[in-house]
Amino acid sequence: MRFVNKVLVAVIRHLVEKKCYGNKHVPEERVFKNFIRNLTKDDKRVLEKEYRKLLNEGYIYRMKKRTGSGEDWHISLNPHMVGQLYTLLEKDNEER
């Protein structure tokens, strides 16, 4: 798998830097809000497609959590797939 979208790589790097593995999670909206401000509709569509692929392959956990204002989606990295994510990020970094 090769990342086409630089924003998704930045999101994954952000989660790795924050050490969001397993039960430690962050709100999905907060993570993506900063990264998708200046994207076009086509870029957002590609980002969503790749993000769904990562969710389906099990690299990222997505769960509904109760917050003070209702329920929000929270995401974290799958701790069993972190090694594979590192290799994907390294390969992507070498190709650019």
The yes-or-no verdict on residue 2 having pLDDT over 60 is: no
pLDDT tens per residue, range 28-41: 988 888 888 888 88
Q: What is the mean pLDDT of residues 35-49?
A: 86
Q: What's the CA gap between 22 and 57, in Å, rounded?
A: 15
Q: What is the edge-to-edge ordering of all strands in the sheet holding 60-67?
A: 26-27, 70-77, 60-67
Predicted TM-score (pTM) of the model is 0.80
pLDDT tens per residue, range 76-87: 999 999 888 888
Domains defined along the chain, listed by start: 6-85 (1.10.10.10)
If we measure between CA atoms, which residue out of 29, 24, 1, 67 comes closest to residue 11? 29
